[in-house]
Structure 1
């Protein structure tokens, strides 16, 4: 059994979905692990990880619009230390999740044809987000 770990830094420009599938694919190829389990973990409480369609950009826009409607900004939150998008960002992270587990087969993530790995930035300002990747396998 082998394992490896890597830290990705994703520089965001505000609220959006940032695909980093290719970065993970490139790193995995260098690990020499062909079969295993990949864990991705976001080290933040106002950004999250998700797997979704990476072919139609309308999907990303629709997801962001849905999150805006489901968790709107406004004066209804007590926690607003960093601005009006602070608490909504925490709620969006809770809804979408901070980690992913992805099977690895043939040295690649076993994603479907149209699936990609995204960081969801829930804050309006730019940030440097850290993702820890851990692979274990053979």
Structure 2
């Protein structure tokens, strides 16, 4: 594969509860190997219909605030037409419309060009699928 495009798949265990998983460290590790100090773009993509990728502050309560907001916007109850899985699972299939399954981020000198408090996160509200894949792709 060309040095202009490199990809890696991460396997992430999210468990049986809703989670925001910080992927920033894994993204930085990947870029150290793939970018070789070059400028480009990092695309982060999750090939699942019930989770998304967000750029937000973590560790100061924002990740919990995001999950609480999603509970308000997308309650886990019986209102959803999509009804397989655990009660309220239909909400998980609406999540990617609000938290998209991808993010494309600038890379400068081989490093993520994030703001001071920004982290790259997997947002998973689906308690029925505890194992996720995340594809990291660097393009220069």
Runs of 4+ in 1 over 3 A off after TM superposition: none
The answer to which of 121-130 and 98-107 deviates more is 121-130
Aligned residues: 136
1:73 aligns with 2:81: no
Q: Tell me, in whole angstroms, the C-alpha distance in 1 between the residues paired with 2:12 and 2:37.
A: 24
Between Structure 1 and Structure 2, the one with more strand by share is 1
- Is the contact made by 1:50 and 1:118 (CA closer than 8 Å) also made in structure 2? yes
2:4 equivalent among 2, 24, 29: 2
Quote the offset at 1:45 in angstroms: 0.7
- Is the contact made by 2:86 and 2:128 (CA closer than 8 Å) also made in structure 1? no
Q: Tell me, in whole angstroms, the C-alpha distance in 1 between the residues paired with 2:25 and 2:81.
A: 39
Unaligned runs of 5+ in 1: none
Q: CA RMSD in A?
A: 1.4
2:39 equivalent among 11, 35, 38: 35
- Is the contact made by 1:9 and 1:130 (CA closer than 8 Å) also made in structure 2? yes
Q: Tell me, in whole angstroms, the C-alpha distance in 2 between the residues paired with 1:124 and 1:133.
A: 23
TM-score (norm 1): 0.92
Q: Tell me, in whole angstroms, the C-alpha distance in 1 between the residues paired with 2:116 and 2:75.
A: 32
Shift in CA distance, 84/125, structure 1 to aligned 2, threshold 3 Å: same
- Is the contact made by 2:80 and 2:88 (CA closer than 8 Å) also made in structure 1? no
